[in-house]
Chain A
Amino acid sequence: QKEVEQDPGPLSVPEGAIVSLNCTYSNSAFQYFMWYRQYSRKGPELLMYTYSSGNKEDGRFTAQVDKSSKYISLFIRDSQPSDSATYLCAMRRGGSEKLVFGKGTKLTVNP
């Protein structure tokens, strides 16, 4: 079983839709949870960074972490064509600098 599972998609939505992206994980030692956005031929860009369980909101983006279910989500409200990219979840154990990534979900937002 992979440590982090993420549906690769692809996911295609109309402009203005609410997008839900998810990851599950198996290692209960993970304490830090991140979402990155990666455009084609670019490096990953940090979108959200959360510690332990709970919600975090930043503009149109909301990250949720449910440690009891080992499940994290990223919601994008009022999606825009510029949100079209691959979204990667990543997580890290406490006391470790190593990030473990999901395979990424490719999102296309159609005008």
Chain B
Amino acid sequence: KAGVTQTPRYLIKTRGQQVTLSCSPISGHRSVSWYQQTPGQGLQFLFEYFSETQRNKGNFPGRFSGRQFSNSRSEMNVSTLELGDSALYLCASSVTGVGTEAFFGQGTRLTVV
């Protein structure tokens, strides 16, 4: 069974640009969550989607947005990039989200210069 797939694995962007990250969940999983991991803050919750609807959102500015498609694949977008957005962005999928195990992808390493 294929795991969670995130693309691309690495990205280098310039301040002010925007970026889109992609996540394909495990087959049959309908919940996709996004997390930001930095050395200083650790893993922080960005948002969660289930059946194309955002169910929960973390404390991040509106520059961070996402969406989910009918096949459960999800994308995350960051607009007007700042240096502080440099991080490992992780996607996790689970069957329903609530009360079920969450499995992570390998992440997308974003560097903003």
Report if A96-B56 is in contact (Cβ < 8 Å); known contacts: A43-B90, A88-B43.
yes
Complex Cα gap A39–B4 (Å): 16
Chain A 94-107 interface mask (CB, 8 Å, partner B; 1/0): 11111111111000
A29-46 contacts to B (CB < 8 Å)? 32, 34, 36, 41-46
Tell me the interface secondary structure of chain A in the complex.
loop
Q: Which of A13-51 contact B (CB under 8 A)?
A: 32, 34, 36, 41-46, 49, 51
Known: A97-B50, A98-B48. A104 touches B42 (CB 8 A): yes
Within A56-99, the residues touching B (CB, 8 Å) are 88, 90, 94-99
**Closest beta carbon of chain A to B92's beta carbon, Å:** 7
Chain A residue nearest to B102 (CB atoms) is A99
Q: Which residues of B contact A36 (CB under 8 A)?
A: 104
CA distance A95 to B98 in the complex (A): 6
- A-chain residues with CB within 8 Å of residue B55 when the two chains form the complex: 97
Q: Which residues of B contact A49 (CB under 8 A)?
A: 101
Distance between Cα atoms of A94 and B98 in the complex (Å): 7
Please state if B42 and A99 are interface contacts (CB–CB under 8 Å).
no
Contact A101 B99 (CB under 8 A): no
The residues of B with any CB-CB pair to A shorter than 8 Å are 4, 6, 31, 33, 35, 42-45, 48, 50, 55-56, 58, 90, 92, 94, 97-99, 101-107, 109
Point out residues on A near B: beta carbons under 8 Å.
32, 34, 36, 41-46, 49, 51, 88, 90, 94-104
List 6 tightest A-B contacts by C-beta distance, closest first: A97-B97, A43-B104, A101-B43, A103-B42, A43-B106, A44-B104
